[in-house]
Structure 1
Amino acid sequence: MKRIRRLMLLAAGPYAARFRATLRISVIASVVQALAYATFIPLLAVLATDPVDTGTAWLWVGVLVVLVIVEGGLRLRESAFTFDYWHLVTGDTRTRLGDRLRSMPQQELGRRAAGDLTMVVGPSVTSAATAISSFSTLFVQLVTVPALLGVVVLAVDWRMGLVLVAAVIVAVPLLRRLRSLSNQGFRRVDKADGSAASRIVEYVQGLAVFKATGQAGASSTRLARAFADQHAAHATSNRSASIPVAALQFLVQTALIALLTVGMALVLDARLTVPLLLAVAVAAARFAEPLSAAATMTKLFEMAEASLTRIGEVLDVRELPVRDGGRTPTSFDITFTDVDFAYEGREECAMRGVSFEVPERGLTALVGPSGSGKTTVTRLITRFADPQEGVVRLGGVDVASLPPVELMRHIAVVFQDVYLFDDTILANIAMGRPEATRDEILAAARAANVHTFVERLPQGYDTRVGEIGSSLSGGERQRISIARAILKDAPVVLLDEPTSALDTESEVVVQQAIDNLVTGKTVVVIAHRLSTVIGADQILVFERGEVIQRGKHTELLERDGRYADMWTAQEGAKEWRLGASGPV
């Protein structure tokens, strides 16, 4: 429970103090409720006397009424957290998760499946907020009230009290066993649910591929296997807990029968009155309630703990540290000095002893085979990761000394694979600078050649692009991405092969948009087609994580090295065509 409480306080975030206060109110209310049940014992004892002392009887009735009213007021204050703070806790937790995902090292983020993160931010947060607002106070009530009533029963008659003590002694191992089974079961269930969610996301995003390969619908083996694993996990969890649950319910019934048997024996022996036995029976029934509800409560708490654990794992991820001495860059050249970098879990370095400079307002192209280190350069510039050795600087400032938000304020990135939101074209462009005016957004759109295709659409810039921009062509999506970057107007632009997947016609239009984007900027471009970077101020040739050549296009051709070989191979590929006799 200490661990669950810690996770609850972590998830409650800025509302943790209010949550603690609610728990204190719940404890006080539960004590008052137990006292209210306890008043039945002296009340019934008075009513059993002959003649009845009406004054004393009414006194106990008054005490009972006061306790009930006080408890009602406390429960009202207790419930305020549920009604007033539940949605606030939910919204704040999701915001904090979003912030942590944004600041999380890219390697850590890459290990987490999209469906799993969807579960964390969605159902897990809802379950955690419910646990904080409802389960916690219910648990306090179901523990505090029976514990106090058990003490009362012991005070009335130690023999009947011992029956309840014996029931608790037997119940504790069963509860621990049930909790252990539920814990294991819900971890399997939680993992299976996350895997199923990931497969659903994968299925929706890759539906075209599944259709093309005949694996859509009932033929989707990956999706069917995930659902089968999910069903098996749920079934195993339910079966494994069934015996302890049945044993616990049998124990509760046996304990109540034993208590009534002992009580009847005491009544027949004239050591206990019938009204007092009835009062003890009421207290004992309330005492036994949490034991009978333990199975359900255990499952609920294990579900809540699984959700809280998932949330805690994300919130506990350490951000990339920000070193001291950071200052806002006043120039925007980029330098790598003796940089070594290896991706986590890989023995081979992605970059070894790399040093180079990207001049301010210049265009530097990175070329080389796949896996040579080109994309790693852009990831280190944007601090998606930090090098193990060496320093990356922007305008002479170590990027590791800049908060991520400050660093990315100076950098615009255009990726090869464009992600558009299921919103209007206007809204997608505005992502570059949300506070921009409509006129500024339209100006960026024109500069990126977006206007040329938007003006043909019936709803113009208010046209929705569909999920991931599915209603647009690759070239159109790329132009919207470039419009975002133009609108952001950052002094540094990183281009990750923005035209490599486009046809010739689209490439020409997109290249014109890129020309408008990079004017007067510090530009780093990862190039697949060497013909697109022949005018670069410098070209860096990467191979196996090292810069093996650098210079302008003509200089590199004259050196007759790796770059010249790549150029010759690409120029030769232009002569390739498919004919009846094969490539010619």
Structure 2
Amino acid sequence: MRRILRLMLTAAGPYAPQFRTTLRISVAAALVQAAAYATFVPLLAELSREQIRAGWAWWWVGVLAALVAVEGALRVRESAFLYDHWHLVTQATRLGLGKSLRSMPQQELARRAAGDLTSVVGNNATTAASALSSLSTLFVQLVAVPTVLGVVIVALDWRLGLVLVAATLAALPFVRQVQRRSNTGFRDVNDADAATSDRLVEYVQGLPVLKATGQAGADSPRLMPVLTHQHGAQAAANRSAAMPVAGAQLVVQLAVVALVAVGAGLVLDARLPVAVLVAVVVTAARFAEPLSLAATMTKLFELSEAALSRIGDVLDVRPLPVAPGGSEPKTFDIRFEDVTFAYDGQSEPSLTGVDFTVAERSLTALVGPSGSGKTTITKLISRFADPQSGVVRLGSVDIGAMDPDELLRHIAIVFQDVYLFDDTIRANIALARPDATDAEIEAAARAANVHEFVDRLPRRYDTRVGEIGSALSGGERQRISIARAILKDAPVVLLDEPTAALDTESEVAVQRAIDNLVADKTVVVIAHRLSTIVGADQILVVDGGRIAQRGTHTDLLADAEGRYARMWSAQLAVRTWHVPAAGR
């Protein structure tokens, strides 16, 4: 429970002080409740006297009533956290997760499935808030009330107290078994839920392909295995704890029977007043109730711990460190100085001893085979990761000494695979600068050749683009992403082959948009079509994580045996390729 409490305090975030106060109030309420039950002893003792002293009897009734009133007031204070802070804790947890995801190193983020993170931010955050608001106070009652009542019973008669102590010790192994089985079971359930969520996202996004291949429907081989596994994990988690729960409850019930039997024997031997036995039995019933409930509630505690652990796993990921001595870059040239980088779990580095300089306001093209390290170079420039050795500089500043958010203020990125949000065209362009005016957004759209197709739409810039931009063509999506980059107006532009998947007409429109984007910028472009970068100031041929060649298009063609010349010849040959007629 110390572990769960630590996780709860982490999840409570800025509301941890209020959570601690609520726990203190809950402890006080549980102690007052136990004291109220303890008043039955003197009250029943007084009522069992031959000469009942009415004044004393009413005194103890008054004490009981006062304690119940105090407990009620404390419970009202305790419930304030549930009603006033539950939704705030949920919101704070999700905001904390969002902040952690935003600062998380890109390779760590890429390691996590989208469905898994959706499950953490959605279901696990809700479960965590419920644990804070309800289960935490319930746990206090399950511990505090039996503890105080147990002390009262031992004080009344050590022999009856010994029966309850023995019963508690006998029930504990069952509770521990429930805890162990539930812990494993609910972790498996959480993993299965995350896998199912991830596969559902994949299924929805890939539905056109699944339909085309006849793999859609309830028995889809992409969906059924994870659904079956999820059902099996849930059933196994419930079955595994059933017998230990029943065992713990049986032990507690037998304890009450044993207590009555021992007490009856003591009364018959005239070694225990009947009033004390009655009071002990009443108190023991309240003592046994939380113990019996604890066996069942352990499953919920373990479910909460599994959810809290998954949240803590995301919150504990450390962002990229910011080295001391950073400053604002004065110029925007880019330098790689003996840079070596390997992804986590990779046996061989993706880049080894890479050195080059991109002059300010120049265009450098990265070419080479797939997997050679081109995309890794752009990721290091934007500080999605840090090299294991060497330095990447923007101007004269080591970007390792710059906050990633501050660095990205100076960089605009246009990816090959465009991601648009299910919002309006205006909103998607304005992501680069939320405070931009409509006139500035339209100017960026005109520069990116977006205005020409937007003007034909019924709602123009207020047209929704659909999920991931599904209502638009590939060329239209790409031009919107370029408009976004133009609006940002960053001094450094990274392009990841933005025309590779476009038809000829769309490529021409996008290329014109790119020309407007890169004017007077420091540009690094990943290129597969060499014809698009013949005018680059510098071409870097990346091969096997190293810079194999560098120079202008003319310089590199002069080396007829070089890698670039062979790539150029191969692409020229492809232009003459044609589909043969049927039957030939």
1:71 aligns with 2:71: yes
| Bigger mean CA offset, 149-158 vs 503-512 | 149-158
Alignment partners' CA distance in 2, 1:106 and 1:486: 24
In 2, Cα distance between the equivalents of 1:510 and 1:239? 59
Determine the C-alpha separation between the residues in 1 that align with 2:261 and 2:454: 85
Shift of 1:576: 0.8
Paired residue for 2:347? 347
Query: What corresponds to 2:457 in structure 1?
Result: 457
Query: Secondary structure at the residue paired with 1:436?
Result: coil
- Please say if 1:506 is aligned against 2:520: no
SS of match in other structure, 1:357: strand
Q: Quick check: 140-149 or 448-457, which moved more?
A: 448-457
Aligned-partner Cα distance in 1 for 2:157–2:73 = 32
Unpaired segments of 5 or more residues in structure 2? none
Cα distance in 1 for partners of 2:320, 2:563 equals 36
Mapped to 2, the partners of 1:219 and 1:514 lie a distance apart of 45
Q: Which amino acid aligns with 2:72?
A: G
Letter in 1 for 2:54: T
* Change in 2 beyond 3 A, CA 1:582/1:501: farther
Deviation at 1:296, TM superposition (A): 2.5
Aligned to 2:372: 372
Paired with 1:330 and 1:77, the residues of 2 have a C-alpha distance of: 57
The DSSP-based 3-state class of the residue aligned with 1:375 is helix
- Higher alpha-carbon deviation: 212-221 or 160-169: 212-221
Higher alpha-carbon deviation: 271-280 or 501-510: 271-280
Instruction: Return the offset for 1:263.
Output: 2.4
Aligned to 2:406: 406
Residue number in structure 1 paired with 2:576? 575
Residue type of the partner of 2:294?
A: A
The amino acid that maps onto 2:581 is: A
Find the residue that maps to 1:356 and give its secondary structure: strand
Q: Which residue of 2 aligns with 1:361?
A: 361
Is 2:243 aligned against 1:248?
no
Q: Matched residue of 1:218: which SS?
A: coil
Offset at residue 324 of structure 1 (A): 0.6
Structure 1 position 534 matched with structure 2 position 542: no
Q: Which amino acid aligns with 2:519?
A: T
User: When the two structures are aligned, how many residues end up with a matched partner?
Assistant: 583
AA at the equivalent of 1:319: P
CA spacing shift, 1:15–1:582, aligned 2, 3 Å: farther
Match for 2:312: what amino acid? G
Structure 2 SS opposite 1:494:
strand
> 2:524 — aligned with what?
524
Q: Does 1:213 align with 2:213?
A: yes
Name the CA distance, whole Å, in 1 between partners of 2:271 and 2:483: 90
Letter aligned with residue 397 of structure 2? V
In the alignment, structure 1 segments of 5+ residues that lack a partner are none
Partner of 1:217, secondary structure, is: coil
Deviation track 1:513-544 (CA, whole Å, cap 9, x = no partner) reads 11111111111100111111111111111110
The whole-number CA distance in structure 1 between the counterparts of 2:40 and 2:309 is: 43
**What SS does the corresponding residue of 1:336 show, helix, strand or coil?**
strand
Instruction: Give CA-to-partner distance per residue, 1:361-403, whole Å, 9 cap, x none.
Output: 1111111110111001111011111111110000110010000
Aligned-partner SS, 1:325: coil
Give the whole-Å Cα distance in 2 for the aligned partners of 1:295 and 1:413.
Answer: 55
SS at match of 1:200: helix
CA shift at 1:579, angstroms?
2.1
Deviation at 1:279, TM superposition (A): 2.4
Query: Which range is displaced more, 278-287 or 488-497?
Result: 278-287
Q: Where in structure 2 are the equivalents of 1:160-559 lying within 5 Å?
A: 160-559=160-559
Aligned to 1:98: 98
CA distance in 1, matches of 2:45, 2:350: 83
SS in 2 for 1:340: strand
- Quick one: which amino acid aligns to residue 576 of structure 2? E
Cα deviation 1:262-312 (Å, max 9, x = unaligned): 223333334444443332222111111122212321111111100110011
Deviation track 1:556-576 (CA, whole Å, cap 9, x = no partner) reads 112222111111111111111
Q: Deviations over 1:300-336 (max 9, x none)?
A: 1111100110011111112111101100111111000
Q: Which amino acid aligns with 2:3?
A: R
Partner amino acid, structure 2, of 1:577: H
Q: In structure 2, do the counterparts of structure 1 residues 455 and 400 end up closer, same or farther at CA, with 3 Å as the change threshold? A: same
Q: Aligned runs of 1:148-167 on 2, under 5 Å?
A: 148-167=148-167
AA partner of residue 265 (structure 1): G
Shift of 1:166: 1.0
Q: Which amino acid aligns with 1:566?
A: M
Q: State the alpha-carbon separation in 1 of the partners of residues 49 and 462 from structure 2.
A: 83
Distance in 2 between residues matched to 1:439 and 1:269, nearest whole Å: 98
Instruction: After superposing the two structures, state which structure 1 stretch, 495-504 or 291-300, moved more.
Output: 291-300
CA offsets, 1:441-499, max 9 Å, x none? Answer: 12111111111111121111111111111111111111111111111111111001111
Three-state SS of the structure 1 residue aligned to 2:416 is coil
In structure 1, C-alpha distance between the alignment counterparts of 2:227 and 2:478, rounded to whole Å: 36
Would you say 1:37 and 2:37 are equivalent positions? yes
Amino acid corresponding to residue 307 of structure 1 in structure 2:
A
1:324-371: CA deviations, max 9, x gaps?
110011111100010111111111111111100111111111111101
In structure 1, distance between residues paired with 2:303 and 2:360: 54
Question: Secondary structure in 2 aligned to 1:222?
Answer: coil
Matched, 1:62 2:67: no
Secondary structure of 2:472's counterpart equals coil
Q: Distance in 2 between matches of 1:476 and 1:219?
A: 36
Shift of 1:93: 1.3
Alignment of 1:105-116 (within 5 A): 105-116=105-116
- Preserved contact between residue 141 and residue 290 of structure 2 (Cα < 8 Å): no
Query: What amino acid is aligned across from residue 4 of structure 2 in structure 1?
Result: I
Q: Deviations over 1:51-85 (max 9, x none)?
A: 22111111111111211111111111111111111
Alignment of 1:73-92 (within 5 A): 73-92=73-92
TM-score, length basis structure 1: 0.98
Rounded Cα–Cα distance in structure 2 between residues aligned with 1:68 and 1:582: 94
Q: CA deviation at 1:240?
A: 1.4
SS of residue in 2 equivalent to 1:230: helix
Q: Percent identity of the aligned residues? A: 68
Q: Do 2:541 and 2:547's aligned partners in 1 also have CA atoms closer than 8 Å?
A: yes
Q: Distance in 2 between matches of 1:221 and 1:581?
A: 35
SS of aligned partner of 1:319: coil
Take 1:295 and 1:224, find their aligned partners in 2: how far apart are those partners? 34
